[in-house]
Amino acid sequence: MMNGRSIVSLEDVNIYQGDNLILEKVNFTVEKGEFVYLIGKTGTGKSSLLKTLYGDLYLKEGSGSVAGFDLKQLKWQTIPLLRRNLGIVFQDFRLLTDRSVRENLEFVLKATGWKDKLLMKEKIENVLTKVGLKNKGFKMPYEMSGGEQQRVDIARALLNNPKLILADEPTGNLDPDTTDEIMQLLFSICRDYHTAFIMATHDYSIIQKYPARVVRIEQNGIKEISVAGV
């Protein structure tokens, strides 16, 4: 189970989609401030693993904990508490298109229990500054480039000072230059905030350019590999 530094700890975990076994006997730990790439072919179970970590898929077999929460003990009432300790970054941004950047972030803060308007304003300004969008809180998502929208998505993930950020193909829709900018931002967050990252990606060139621990999903399980092994 979790030691003093582990943010994620899975032991002999079987992951299911409905009645279908997707991943078998998964043993996996992630420490505080660690950056981990999750690679593997489409359909091998990367997204299923991430969904298990943030409580979207129920853990039926094995033992697992994330940010101090026992995944087998999760109930619908406690899933929001788990997710307040996590940040989630999506490939397709999933921003509210009828609200400004600032209103998107304010929506998340209110949904996670923030009340004080002054503190919310301060927090929003802090995360926008961190992602390089200090003066763009008034913009609507459709007025922004793909890279800027991804920065908003990352700012949203930072709002509750997460111990772990799960990033599912966060650069999949971005050009190479913007991908570089986003990767530099993710690594700076990992370093400056000591936030752990698990990033699913198909882009092995990113791993070569920004090396970190690599875990491959294959043959219904996971395998640690070296950067050179990708």
CATH number at residue 22: 3.40.50.300
Under DSSP, the state recorded for 116 is: -
Q: What residues does 221 pair with on adjacent strands? A: 218
Is 180 within the bounds of a domain?
A: no
Q: Would you give the distance in Å from CA 101 to the centre of its chain?
A: 19
Is 61 within the bounds of a domain?
A: yes
Domain that holds residue 34: 1-85+203-224
Is 2 within the bounds of a domain?
A: yes
User: pLDDT tens track of the chain, all 230 residues?
Assistant: 344 579 999 999 999 988 899 999 999 999 999 999 999 887 788 889 999 999 999 999 999 999 999 999 998 888 888 988 999 887 777 788 899 999 999 999 988 888 999 999 999 999 999 999 999 999 999 999 989 999 999 999 999 889 999 998 888 888 899 999 999 999 999 999 999 999 999 889 999 999 999 999 986 788 888 665 55
Is 25 within the bounds of a domain?
A: yes
Contacts made by residues 27-30, CB under 8 angstroms, sequence distance 24+: 27/222, 28/215, 28/222, 30/6, 30/164, 30/196, 30/198
Is 42 within the bounds of a domain?
A: yes
Residue identified by tokens 């991430």 is 50
Is 18 within the bounds of a domain?
A: yes
Is 37 within the bounds of a domain?
A: yes
213-180-153 Cα angle (round to 5): 85
Under DSSP, the state recorded for 201 is: -
Please state the domain count of the chain.
Answer: 1
This prediction's pTM: 0.89
| Cβ-based neighbours of 142, under 8 Å, separated by 6 or more | 97
Is 81 within the bounds of a domain?
A: yes
Two tokens, residue 110: 């209110």
